[in-house]
Amino acid sequence: MSIDRTILFRLATSVRLERAVRTAPRGEGLAWRAASRYVAGRTHEDARRVVGDLYTRGAASSVDQFGELVRNMETAEQVGEDYRRLATSLATFPDDAWLSIDLSHLGLDIDPPGCADQLAAIAQTLPTGRRIQVGAEDHARAGAVLRCVLDVAERGMADRLGATAQANLHRTPEDMEQLIAAGLHIRLVKGAYVEPSHLALTYGEPTDVAYLHLAHRLAEVGASYALATHDGVLREALLAALGPAPVEQLLGVRPDVVDDLISRGVPVRVYVPFGNDWFRYWMRRLAESRGA
């Protein structure tokens, strides 16, 4: 892993850096100009516009309102209320639009059972046929995320949920079998967090091989899944082997690939984030572009 990638990940969680950039003369404007290719905008209507544009191109969407690492119960409850409103509003979006959320945004770190209740309430609010995709977080939260998702699935809402499996984590093969057994949609990613070697594979060939094995396992058991990767070699190898499996992409990252996949009959879903807390997300996109 390159040193610049490691440093960028550390900076991506730096409140001090974000504050310095936003308060510097022209700092926020310049940062926003660079970040805006990856972000739908700051408002709900911005997200709706981008989702509509993607729909006309033939791509589905997964909408996320920025936020993570909430450590205040009042804030977590407000986030849950915001997401319930967003879930209700999906009825006015194209019918293939889903939601995405990180559970640390719903207070996972302070009240895991309450977080599960919040996730269930959002899932219940979704229009028929939609899902809320739970995002990947660092290894320290992986167990809590898994328990929360399985808890809500056991309440009869597996068909309204999606989980994320990170190929680089040593624990993922076992975790994924539990997700498969629960009947959840699984979004397979390489894994973006910087983790120690005793918890995760290194980037490059070890993670790529793990990704291949996990993807073939999902296809073998007939699971509902999507290949979420911008690694063209890996993606094309799997599409050649498995057929036109659904592919997930990030808004603004190699947008030409989206149109190419659609033209070839491959189902595509694009992650569409919006909101004011865009700075750290942008820093992560920069970090992931270094040696992943």
Among 166, 181, 179, smallest CA distance to 135 is for 166
Query: CA 232, CA 14: separation in Å to the nearest integer?
Result: 31
Write down the pLDDT at residue 291: 43
Mean pLDDT: which of 13-17, 32-36, 140-144, 274-278 is highest?
140-144
Q: Which amino acid is at 218?
A: L
Write down the pLDDT at residue 290: 47
- DSSP category for residue 58: T
Confidence of residue 292 (pLDDT cuts 50, 70, 90): very low
Write down the pLDDT at residue 15: 55
> Could you tell me the residue ranges of all domains in the chain?
40-274
pLDDT, mean over the chain: 89
Write down the pLDDT at residue 8: 56
The distance of Cα 132 from the centroid of its chain, to the nearest Å, equals 10
Write down the pLDDT at residue 13: 56
pTM over 0.75: yes
The third-level CATH classification (topology) of the domain covering 40-274 is: TIM Barrel (3.20.20)
Write down the pLDDT at residue 213: 98
Confidence of residue 151 (pLDDT cuts 50, 70, 90): very high
Whole-angstrom CA distances from 186 to 108, 117, 135, 173, 229 are 20, 21, 10, 12, 13
Where would I find the H helices in the chain? 3-12, 15-23, 27-35, 44-57, 73-89, 112-125, 139-152, 172-181, 205-220, 232-242, 255-263, 279-288
Over pLDDT 70: what percentage of the chain? 85
Given a contact cutoff of 8 angstroms between Cβ atoms, the answer to whether 138 and 104 are in contact is: no
**pLDDT at residue 237 tops 90:** yes
pLDDT digits (tens, 9 = 90+) for 188-230: 999 988 899 999 999 899 999 999 999 999 999 999 999 999 9
Q: What angle do CA 146, 151, 153 make, to 5 degrees?
A: 95
Burial classification of residue 137, based on how many CB atoms lie within 10 Å of its CB (0-12 exposed, 13-18 middle, 19 or more buried): buried
Q: Which of 29-33, 47-51, 102-106, 229-233 has the lowest mean pLDDT?
A: 29-33
